[in-house]
A and B are shown apart, each in its own frame.
Chain A
């Protein structure tokens, strides 16, 4: 199994809603990542987890709250988002070793109304 699975594929939410994005991998990877991609722009790194601990937060607003409950699962909790947060949210994972590659999921397309 060399897949990173993201659910849901599409999500529409209002600015007062609370929702969560889910990412799962069963490759034994101990590093997991969240990226945000606006239309026609490259992906931007948001968070990095290493061995279930947050190691990098790229100054992301607190309305985005990541969680890594176990080594296979990564969540992104969303609360009080703004319309400008509408984007493709990508999850990735990799081995925690020198020179390893990242595997990306197909993303969740989020629309905030």
Chain B
């Protein structure tokens, strides 16, 4: 079963920052937080992942709380192409540990 809770939908104005929250209160010490997104009928696209520290890459930033029970994905300047379903996933640290998708957040970016 998925170990995360996300709001089912969110809206964001184009050019503004999109902040997507995720709760993972039962996360264990060796589990990572992964974010993927899926645009309609395409394969999921990797965004970012982290263990304890905040992470940033060319797509997004990941902020993980100190107790690791929640995190926030930040898209700094949302565009219409960022409209997608965003999945927050908690996964064990080993190569074949299961990546189990929850229901995700449908982000709608509007002009």
Chain B facing A: main interface SS = loop
Residue A30 is within 8 A (CB to CB) of chain B in the complex:
yes
Q: Which of A82-113 contact B (CB under 8 A)?
A: 88, 90, 92, 94-107, 109
Residue of A nearest to B43 (CB): A104
Stretch at the interface among B9-17, B62-70, B71-79, B98-106: B98-106
Chain A residues with Cβ under 8 A from B45's Cβ? 104
Residue B29 is within 8 A (CB to CB) of chain A in the complex:
no
Which of B2, B34, B43 sits near A107, CB closer than 8 Å? Answer: B43
Which of B42, B43, B49, B87 sits near A42, CB closer than 8 Å? Answer: B87
State A88–B32 Cα separation when bound (angstroms). Answer: 27
Indicate the size class of the contact surface on chain B.
Answer: 20 to 34
Chain A residues with Cβ under 8 A from B93's Cβ? 98-99
* Inter-subunit contact B104/A101 (CB<8 Å): no
* Inter-subunit contact A48/B98 (CB<8 Å): yes
Q: Which of B17-36 contact A (CB under 8 A)?
A: 32, 34, 36
* Inter-subunit contact A102/B98 (CB<8 Å): no
Residue of B nearest to A44 (CB): B101
Chain A residues with Cβ under 8 A from B44's Cβ? 43, 90, 92, 104
Which of B43, B51, B85, B87 sits near A105, CB closer than 8 Å? Answer: B43
**Max chain B Cβ within 10 angstroms of own Cβ: one of A102, A103, A106:** A102
Residue A45 is within 8 A (CB to CB) of chain B in the complex:
yes
Residue B110 is within 8 A (CB to CB) of chain A in the complex:
no
* Inter-subunit contact B95/A45 (CB<8 Å): no
Residue of A nearest to B42 (CB): A106
Known: A42-B102, A45-B98. A88 touches B51 (CB 8 A): no
State A50–B98 Cα separation when bound (angstroms). Answer: 12
Residue A31 is within 8 A (CB to CB) of chain B in the complex:
yes
Residue A59 is within 8 A (CB to CB) of chain B in the complex:
no
Name A residues whose Cβ lies closer than 8 Å to a Cβ of B. Answer: 4, 30-31, 33, 42-45, 48, 50, 55-56, 88, 90, 92, 94-107, 109
Name B residues whose Cβ lies closer than 8 Å to a Cβ of A. Answer: 2, 32, 34, 36, 41-46, 49, 51, 85, 87, 93-96, 98-104
